[in-house]
Structure 1
Amino acid sequence: MGGPPARNARRRRVVLPWTLLGLWIAVLALAGPFAGKLGDVQHDRAVDYLPASADSTQVAKIQDRLPGGETTELVLVYHRDGGLTAGDRETAGEQVAAIGRELKLTGTPEGVPSKSGDTLMYPVASNAPGQDEKLRDAFVNDVRDIAHDTGAGMSVEVGGPGALATDAAEVYQSLDGPLLYTTVAVVAILLILIYRSPFLWLVPLVVAGVADFLSMGVAYGLHETFGTTISGQSSGVMTILVFGAGTDYALLIVARYREELRRVERPYDAMRVALRGCGPAVLASSGTVAAGLLCLLAADLNSSRGMGPLGAVGVLCALVAMLTLLPAVLVLLGRRVFWPLVPALGSQPKPRRSLFSAMGSSAERRPLTVLGVGAVLLGALALGALNLSGAVKQEDSFTSTPDSVAAMKTLAAAYPETGTQPLTVIAPTRGADRAVRTARATEGVADVQRGRSGGGWTEITVVARAAPQSAAETATIEALRDGLDAQGAYVGGPSAEQLDLKDTNARDRLVVVPIVLAAVLLVLVALLRSLVAPLMLLVAVVAVWGAALGIGGLVFGPVFGFEGTDPGLELLSFVFLVALGVDYGIFLMHRMREEVLGGADTRAAALTALRTTGGVIASAGLVLAATFAVLTNMPMVQLVELGFVIAVGVLLDTFLVRTYLVTSASLALGRKVWWPGALSRPAGEPVPPPAEEAVLTRTS
């Protein structure tokens, strides 16, 4: 029958899983109303992505406070191959007049014909939408409804900053559904292939879905409490991280649980032992990723700084769900959830020569040779980064060609020596006249018009002679800023925003990268009680990042046809690959440390760790790479480039660096890999493990 301790143990086995399940139901009920509001606070205006301290950000903020709020600027482009007819010009004038009658415009639009006579553009602006994105989109769509093709051979396109913003917002708003469904489908297929069970794959997938729902509620809370920026890019990446990282943790836990079910009779007890064995690695892994992502708070770029907390929220929600809800559900379902490959008590897995055993054997024979070849290969791939082109222009940031992009391309061809995208100068009203004179005297400026005033500020519109985002226009922007800086004026507008994005990303790389490396190193040192092993892992992930970026440089232009590179690609891919890549190193090195504490020498421990964790790491890497690869199917160049580099980097890390190179380095270094910790002592010296590690070793 057993005494009170036995009865208490039986009670815990029954009560605890059901209690955890009940708590999760309560948590979801509380998070539900907030999760549903996340889309309402998601914004994709330029000011939500701009650097916090840049001129262009100040311009956007002051414009919001001017009478009428932010100005929505459009350009109507009328074009006919071979030249516009008198009837075409009359039709264009009638459509523009109708826009003026039906919509509230700022000023009276005037047509500007091209020298070739085949294009006529009308700049159109309105303050009516203000800073409300829905009103802006409605205004743009109303203009498009009125300015439509007549079917007589003349094309009509609506471009300009407002139209580009509307098309970009439409793309980001359309991501949520397809991104989630595609991610779920990809993860489901991979889990079915990995587990070869008709039921087991559903458990981690459903738990990941629960974690994603919770993360949406927490993200909304962050926005309301701290004003965290929520953009389409950051919320999409958060979903990717929840499913990718969460599934990785599930794979590790389930693999260890299956292993313990062969040794332990009751599922509850087997899960306890499994969590004791792999829990520290999962905690350290998620902690490393979260710490790395939170380093983005040091970035000056709004979009990067907002992505840090959201990414960390996604990872931590996945961690909590996988350490509590997943074990509870698995214990309640019992061994039958593994059907048809049920791990019976006392059984042994079929002995077979695994790929990772073979890789370990080859690394064992010539560790230095493997290291040398791997280093040369990664170095050669990294050289491809030299082929990365300059910053992608706004009109080239879509993988398709929306109306706004078509309009900008038509303008670029028809007005090659004329600015078609005005700059905005915000000057103190008391010095506005002086600012106008300074702007007119600036080299490269074609026209200057004084605009609205309010709150002590005046808006001035400046048209450059050079084409948008060209080297000549950039020189004009810099000259304007040099001349107006002493007057307390700011220079903004779409081209200035892109210049600020590029410059701020360069600044953020110098600040954030060292912080990320330091944070990750500290976590690894605390976990592995060593300095050499953490440094080895960091060097490995940095090498992976360089190689993945190099592969991107070889395919983005020649294969994908992209006209530029997202300025934030290097920083974001570095943060994600370093933080996520160290995950697998933690899984491998933590198991190796367990084996050494159990009495094995470092050489045997390295091979055992590779053999026992190689399959799990490979499965986890495939899932994580596949989830980020989902981004390559999205219609924005920035998302495609980010998803591609991270997916390729994860695959390199999983199948080359983590398995071959880290194992080879461990074999070559021997006990030195644990220096200066106690495990680095010569084999003859006793190495008593700390009490908690001794318990883990005995129970594993």
Structure 2
Amino acid sequence: MRRRRGARSVDDVIDTPAPKRPRVPTWLRVLIPAVLILIWFGAFGAGGAAFGSLSDVSTNDQAQFLPASAEATEVAGLADEFRDSEAIPAIVVIASDDGSELSTAQLDAADELRTALTEVDGVLGDEASPVIASDDGEAVEIVLPVDTSEGAERPADVVAEMRTVVDEHAVDGTTSAVTGPAGFTADLSAAFAGIDGLLLAVALAAVFLILIVVYRSPLLPFIVLFTSMSALCASVFTVVALARADILLLSGQTQGILFILVIGAATDYALLYISRYRETLARYERRWDATWAALRGSWEPIVASGGTVIVALLILLASELTSNKILGPVAAIGIVFALLSALTLLPALLLWAGRAAFWPRRIAHRGDEAEPAHGAHAAGVLHEASAPDEHDLPDRGLWAGVGRLVSRRPRTVWIVSVLALAGMSLGLAQLDSDGVPSSEFVLGESQARDGQALLGEHFPAGSGTPALIVGPEDELQQMADTALAVDGVDSVAVVSADSPAGTAPVTADGVQAFGPPGTPAPEPTVVDGQVMLQATLADPSDSMEAEATVAELRTVLDEVGTEVLVGGQTAVALDTNDAAIADRTLVIPLVLAAILLILMLLLRSIVAPLILIGSVVVSFAAALGVSALVFEHVFGFPGADPSVPLFGFVFLVALGVDYNIFLMTRVREESLQFGTRPGIVRGLRLTGGVITSAGLVLAATFAALGVLPILFLVQISFIVAFGVLLDTFLVRTLLVPALAYDLGRVIWWPSKLARRAD
């Protein structure tokens, strides 16, 4: 084939060999990979041992993730001064099965159950309430504080023991349940219990099956999975160490996302490196030379892709909500180890395995003079062939057909693609991301949720989890009167150490006494001139109605005095939702700006990065729109947490840009030799297999999150998995190449490449 005057060969432009280096001694070529493998084996072992410590250093207490400036956080700090212990309430509710009043025998049995429950380790028996009968006489409740101080039994374990005791002391003719904040914490912990086993097993099995289909090799999938698991183990070891040092706060949902993100990202980076290594094995006879050439050809897109995700994750540090803020560094640590394993451990293992890694396929050595294939078909799901020997790629196969479609009707292709994405985005009108009740966090069976419903049938639904009001001692009566005037407040009591129940009711006539007429009213507990009121809400404490009541309480009590604060479980949920919404507004623009800057530096262009950013934003809107419709009309979910769109955006934009980076770095390489429009078609065809494989792997790993019965994780799982597939098969395959082809060399503006004729 005739070469144009002044044109440089592909080797000259892309794979220019480094200047002659001194020959690396054989002993060093053996020592370097051996040391790398041993180091990673050590990390694998240390991290494997650290898996068992994850539950010890993680927490699912929503209050701990609030910003320090939140009103609920301030009240939580003050509440500790009004009580002698750190505890969260567990509520045992016992209700008649046939709707009749409980008999004397049943009430006696309930009292015996109370005595047994106060003896459970972790229950503060001295602070337990008496057996409280409902107004209709058909049910009773017992409020039992569960110790949460350092060194105490885990609340989830305490509640599990309480439920065992309730079953052993079942009251005939009644239904019983353990609910309240402690009950919901226990159900949430049980749902997260599958993270270490079930989640990893499903994710690894999905990746293994895809790798078998991609490579049809018995050895290579194990090499890739060992690389990914080594990265995960090193991440877990580091995160656990930082959590023990109180540098990081770890939650169950952060742990689950870390697992999936590391396995998916490390496997994606491995696929990209393997595609280069397979190519270089065909060009170089010695494995060391092939390894060095593969690293030179793959490190830049891999580092750029990982760097994009790391930057996007670290921007979460700007969040107000601590649960969002902690995800950033934890997940970024995972991506760092994914990068390191893909660029150190994987090359070392493949150097050791050589051509045998691809057995039974043979990678024949064609000689150094062979034209590099740039990983054309090294990891394709739908087409995999030997690298072409000529500049022109074979005019056959799926990706050849896609290339012809893009080059012949580029404007039609990108317009239809945009219209399709816009149509999917219409589902955003159905998106409800204002928050969901904590009782809906766990999918499937939940005793706490059932108990909450039973409690609401016979008692004020907010019993046991009141709103807490802290204010000046001399404003006690005015605060109580103001709170009682709010719709949704059933009753008000003041914390009093003198009262046998720990609180004393407050009515329009003042603080009331327990006991016969004439009994003096107990004195309220006063701390630094302040008292604490407990407002029992008429609605369940985790409901949207209860949040509206708390919001109104704050508004009306501000008129009593700005120093009056309202907190409690409902206020925690309210402040969490408000902080999550504020984080969405702040973080999303910052992530877009940071990724745009990285792309400009990588591609030496302004126009191409704008196209890429625009494409992933439209893709995200489409994914979220379709997800909203599925959540509402297929799964019947009650809504979504405000953090769901934020996390979905961060993962989809950062990971979606990864595939565009893989594509456009190759397109730029090809454009340097063949011109922009031919370079676009060649880049699309050359990266089709490896990017499709990577997209399927990442979608499968995120889909694995759906096996955990946690609403938040199931929604993130669907949004990201569907969005990745949309990026892989529509945005990267059709939209971006067609739009870039239609614009031509202007996409490289203002670099010199924009002025080069095709």
- TM over 0.5: same fold? yes
Q: Which moved more, 1:253-262 or 1:497-506?
A: 497-506
Identify the residue that residue 572 of structure 1 maps to in structure 2: 647
Other structure's SS at 1:446 match:
strand
**1:321 partner amino acid:** S
Query: Residues 42-57 of structure 1 correspond to what in structure 2 (within 5 A)?
Result: 42-57=58-73
User: Alpha carbons of 1:308 and 1:7: their partners in 2 closer, same or farther (altered >3 Å)?
Assistant: closer
Matched, 1:120 2:143: no
**2:715 partner amino acid:** E
The count of residues paired between Structure 1 and Structure 2 equals: 677
In structure 1, which of residues 159, 180, 184 is the aligned counterpart of residue 204 of structure 2?
184
Q: Which runs of 5+ in 2 are unaligned?
A: 1-19, 368-385, 389-393, 498-524
Identify the residue that residue 296 of structure 2 maps to in structure 1: 276
Q: Which moved more, 1:79-88 or 1:40-49?
A: 79-88
Identify the residue that residue 657 of structure 1 maps to in structure 2: 731
| Structure 1 CA distance for aligned equivalents of residues 251 and 135 of structure 2 | 38
Matched, 1:524 2:599: yes
User: Alpha carbons of 1:475 and 1:151: their partners in 2 closer, same or farther (altered >3 Å)?
Assistant: closer
Identify the residue that residue 515 of structure 2 maps to in structure 1: none
| Structure 2 CA distance for aligned equivalents of residues 499 and 313 of structure 1 | 31
- State the identity %: 38
Other structure's SS at 2:653 match:
helix
**1:401 partner amino acid:** E
**1:294 partner amino acid:** L
| Structure 2 CA distance for aligned equivalents of residues 558 and 421 of structure 1 | 35
Whether the aligned pair in 2 keeps the contact of 1:423 and 1:492 (CA below 8 Å) is: no
| Structure 2 CA distance for aligned equivalents of residues 105 and 141 of structure 1 | 20
Matched, 1:197 2:217: yes
**1:238 partner amino acid:** L
| Structure 1 CA distance for aligned equivalents of residues 200 and 615 of structure 2 | 31
| Structure 2 CA distance for aligned equivalents of residues 600 and 274 of structure 1 | 22
Whether the aligned pair in 2 keeps the contact of 1:63 and 1:71 (CA below 8 Å) is: no
Whether the aligned pair in 1 keeps the contact of 2:118 and 2:128 (CA below 8 Å) is: no
Deviation at 1:639, TM superposition (A): 0.7
In structure 2, which of residues 438, 463, 476 is the aligned counterpart of residue 394 of structure 1?
438
| Structure 2 CA distance for aligned equivalents of residues 342 and 402 of structure 1 | 55
User: Alpha carbons of 1:66 and 1:618: their partners in 2 closer, same or farther (altered >3 Å)?
Assistant: farther
Deviation at 1:106, TM superposition (A): 2.2
Query: Residues 235-634 of structure 1 correspond to what in structure 2 (within 5 A)?
Result: 235-346=255-366, 348-349=386-387, 353-389=396-432, 390-414=434-458, 418-420=461-463, 422-425=465-468, 427=470, 430=473, 433=476, 435-436=479-480, 438-451=482-495, 456=528, 458-485=531-558, 486-597=561-672, 599-634=673-708
| Structure 1 CA distance for aligned equivalents of residues 397 and 151 of structure 2 | 58
| Structure 2 CA distance for aligned equivalents of residues 667 and 404 of structure 1 | 57
Matched, 1:641 2:715: yes
Whether the aligned pair in 2 keeps the contact of 1:105 and 1:125 (CA below 8 Å) is: no
Matched, 1:141 2:160: yes
Q: Which moved more, 1:158-167 or 1:64-73?
A: 64-73
Other structure's SS at 2:536 match:
strand
In structure 2, which of residues 2, 24, 39 is the aligned counterpart of residue 8 of structure 1?
24
Deviation at 1:478, TM superposition (A): 1.3
Whether the aligned pair in 2 keeps the contact of 1:180 and 1:239 (CA below 8 Å) is: yes
Deviation at 1:279, TM superposition (A): 1.0
Deviation at 1:559, TM superposition (A): 1.5
Q: Which moved more, 1:98-107 or 1:230-239?
A: 98-107
* Higher Cα radius of gyration: 2
Other structure's SS at 1:419 match:
coil
Whether the aligned pair in 2 keeps the contact of 1:418 and 1:465 (CA below 8 Å) is: yes
Identify the residue that residue 692 of structure 1 maps to in structure 2: none
In structure 2, which of residues 62, 68, 76 is the aligned counterpart of residue 60 of structure 1?
76
Deviation at 1:81, TM superposition (A): 4.2
Deviation at 1:190, TM superposition (A): 1.2
Q: TM-score, normalised by structure 2?
A: 0.84
Deviation at 1:122, TM superposition (A): 1.1
User: Alpha carbons of 1:139 and 1:40: their partners in 2 closer, same or farther (altered >3 Å)?
Assistant: closer
In structure 2, which of residues 114, 117, 120 is the aligned counterpart of residue 99 of structure 1?
117
Whether the aligned pair in 1 keeps the contact of 2:267 and 2:697 (CA below 8 Å) is: yes
Whether the aligned pair in 2 keeps the contact of 1:67 and 1:454 (CA below 8 Å) is: no
User: Alpha carbons of 1:8 and 1:255: their partners in 2 closer, same or farther (altered >3 Å)?
Assistant: closer
User: Alpha carbons of 1:450 and 1:527: their partners in 2 closer, same or farther (altered >3 Å)?
Assistant: same
| Structure 2 CA distance for aligned equivalents of residues 26 and 614 of structure 1 | 36
| Structure 2 CA distance for aligned equivalents of residues 507 and 194 of structure 1 | 43
Deviations 1:397-423 (A, max 9, x none): 2111221111122234555x7534533
| Structure 2 CA distance for aligned equivalents of residues 283 and 101 of structure 1 | 57
Q: Which moved more, 1:379-388 or 1:306-315?
A: 379-388
Deviations 1:429-475 (A, max 9, x none): 75673644553454532211222658646543211233444454333
| Structure 2 CA distance for aligned equivalents of residues 647 and 121 of structure 1 | 46
Query: Residues 16-31 of structure 1 correspond to what in structure 2 (within 5 A)?
Result: 16-27=32-43
**1:298 partner amino acid:** A
Deviation at 1:391, TM superposition (A): 2.2
| Structure 2 CA distance for aligned equivalents of residues 132 and 648 of structure 1 | 43
Other structure's SS at 1:69 match:
coil
Other structure's SS at 1:122 match:
strand
| Structure 1 CA distance for aligned equivalents of residues 458 and 569 of structure 2 | 20
Identify the residue that residue 73 of structure 1 maps to in structure 2: 89
User: Alpha carbons of 1:64 and 1:233: their partners in 2 closer, same or farther (altered >3 Å)?
Assistant: farther
| Structure 2 CA distance for aligned equivalents of residues 183 and 144 of structure 1 | 33
Other structure's SS at 1:551 match:
helix
Identify the residue that residue 17 of structure 2 maps to in structure 1: none
Whether the aligned pair in 1 keeps the contact of 2:66 and 2:576 (CA below 8 Å) is: yes
Deviation at 1:14, TM superposition (A): 2.9
Other structure's SS at 2:89 match:
strand
Identify the residue that residue 161 of structure 1 maps to in structure 2: 181
Deviation at 1:240, TM superposition (A): 0.6
| Structure 2 CA distance for aligned equivalents of residues 632 and 645 of structure 1 | 11
User: Alpha carbons of 1:432 and 1:616: their partners in 2 closer, same or farther (altered >3 Å)?
Assistant: farther
Deviation at 1:147, TM superposition (A): 2.8
